[in-house]
Chains A and B, each alone.
Chain A
């Protein structure tokens, strides 16, 4: 279907494309091992977060939590804010985003263009400062609605109802699903759906490992695991460092012509790991992974050119996924 009544109706239904050049070569007579990319950058604002934003707003409307003209408050480091800004504009809400200073300038420009208001929390103060800022704003405006993507079941449900069925429809022979682990919504929703439908499906998480600045917490008891997270949905979980993420992001555009953001590079790194294991074990594999967004918003980091060490330095202290 190529005609829609509105932009919101054009959310999802993204293409799944094969990666014949990046898929590992298998020995003669061995079963095929193939990589497939789910192009989530083809959503209305260019990221997978459109699915969650649309479902979260609809759920809040249906429950009566959100009324016309209300203000939505969302702490976000980027894509969710952009998606919510678009949905809020089209559904008649005001959006206020709280975000750390150390996100790329393109994200800030996009948010403002879609009509969102931004409150920055100082990057220098680290997580403690971010906590303080968010607490203060929430306390000052008790009437603002927080959709809270980390604990909102509609975030995971968006993927249970759309991403999962789309993947199974396009790739009935799927053996592995690989996605990024942030709010955990993509992996929980898609993972649950595929586990119900596909025997032996492997649900694989790729988690970004940032520079040390990001982990500069005072103590371990201040850690946080999203309310949505259920470890039993996952089969494996990889931590992918900045260097590997950048390397794979560059490889994806150089070899297959797919220009993606760095979180996609981290996911591809994990997808290649499971694909190569399948080759080694002589098993058939159809590995589908998520391309979360395009690379446009990250060009200003300079991490697409120069040496890998330069790119690593450029992304140090940034929330690149």
Chain B
């Protein structure tokens, strides 16, 4: 028996479109190395050059976040189910909020400064 790995839509270009692939390994790090031998480039999208999980990637072993199970050192067993997902806050809408505030905060800061100046007069 192997470990079943669920691949998110955006990474299926590395798996020939497959939604679920199989792999093996004693740890998550081993599993990703094994997957990369058949799906070249996949590991680099999940693990940074420094050897940590990418900030915007969440990996779950049997529905539990691996960052709380030892991250790439998390132990795996045959029959485990691994799910890879992009980090999304409160649904895709978190992105909109994040992007909007980045632009908006500069504008509000300027306005607050203007108000303070007016009040001081």
- Rounded to whole angstroms, the CA-CA distance of A130 and B94 in the bound complex is 9
- CB under 8 Å from chain B, chain A span 54-103: 64-65, 67, 75-77, 98-100
Main SS of the interface on chain B? helix
List 8 additional A-B contacts (Cβ < 8 Å) besides A127-B96, A139-B104, A215-B88: A142-B104, A148-B101, A150-B94, A183-B89, A209-B83, A217-B88, A224-B89, A236-B65
Q: Any chain A CB within 8 A of the CB of B54? A: yes
- Rounded to whole angstroms, the CA-CA distance of A43 and B50 in the bound complex is 46
Q: List 26 A-B contacts (CB under 8 A).
A: A76-B93, A98-B96, A131-B95, A139-B104, A149-B97, A150-B94, A150-B101, A183-B90, A210-B91, A214-B91, A214-B92, A215-B10, A215-B92, A216-B10, A219-B10, A222-B86, A223-B57, A224-B89, A224-B98, A225-B89, A226-B94, A238-B64, A238-B65, A239-B65, A241-B63, A319-B91
Whether the pair B68, A234 counts as a contact (CB closer than 8 A) is yes
**Which B residues touch A321, using CB under 8 A?**
90-91
Chain B 44-73 against A: per-residue CB contact (8 Å), 1 yes, 0 no? 010000000011111010011101100000
Given contacts A143-B111, A237-B68, A319-B93, contact A220 B63 (CB under 8 A): no
- Rounded to whole angstroms, the CA-CA distance of A76 and B94 in the bound complex is 8
Q: Any chain A CB within 8 A of the CB of B9? A: yes
**Which A residues touch B65, using CB under 8 A?**
205, 207, 236-239
CB distance from A321 to the nearest CB of B (A): 8
Whether the pair B9, A226 counts as a contact (CB closer than 8 A) is no
Q: Any chain A CB within 8 A of the CB of B115? A: yes
- Rounded to whole angstroms, the CA-CA distance of A70 and B50 in the bound complex is 46
Q: Any chain B CB within 8 A of the CB of A151? A: yes
Whether the pair B85, A215 counts as a contact (CB closer than 8 A) is yes
Whether the pair B94, A138 counts as a contact (CB closer than 8 A) is no
CB distance from B107 to the nearest CB of A (A): 4
Chain A residue with the shortest CB-CB distance to B57 = A220
Q: Any chain B CB within 8 A of the CB of A182? A: yes
- CB under 8 Å from chain A, chain B span 12-70: 45, 54-58, 60, 63-65, 67-68
Whether the pair A221, B101 counts as a contact (CB closer than 8 A) is no
Interface bracket on B: 35 or more
- Rounded to whole angstroms, the CA-CA distance of A64 and B115 in the bound complex is 9
- Rounded to whole angstroms, the CA-CA distance of A231 and B58 in the bound complex is 13
Residue of A100, A133, A225 with most partner-chain B CB within 10 A: A225
- Rounded to whole angstroms, the CA-CA distance of A100 and B93 in the bound complex is 7
Q: Any chain B CB within 8 A of the CB of A126? A: yes
Given contacts A127-B92, A146-B108, A234-B68, contact A220 B100 (CB under 8 A): no
Whether the pair A209, B97 counts as a contact (CB closer than 8 A) is no
**Which B residues touch A145, using CB under 8 A?**
108
Whether the pair A150, B89 counts as a contact (CB closer than 8 A) is yes
CB distance from B63 to the nearest CB of A (A): 5
**Which B residues touch A215, using CB under 8 A?**
8-10, 85-86, 88, 92
Chain A 184-225 against B: per-residue CB contact (8 Å), 1 yes, 0 no? 100000000000000000000101111010111111111111
Whether the pair A151, B86 counts as a contact (CB closer than 8 A) is no
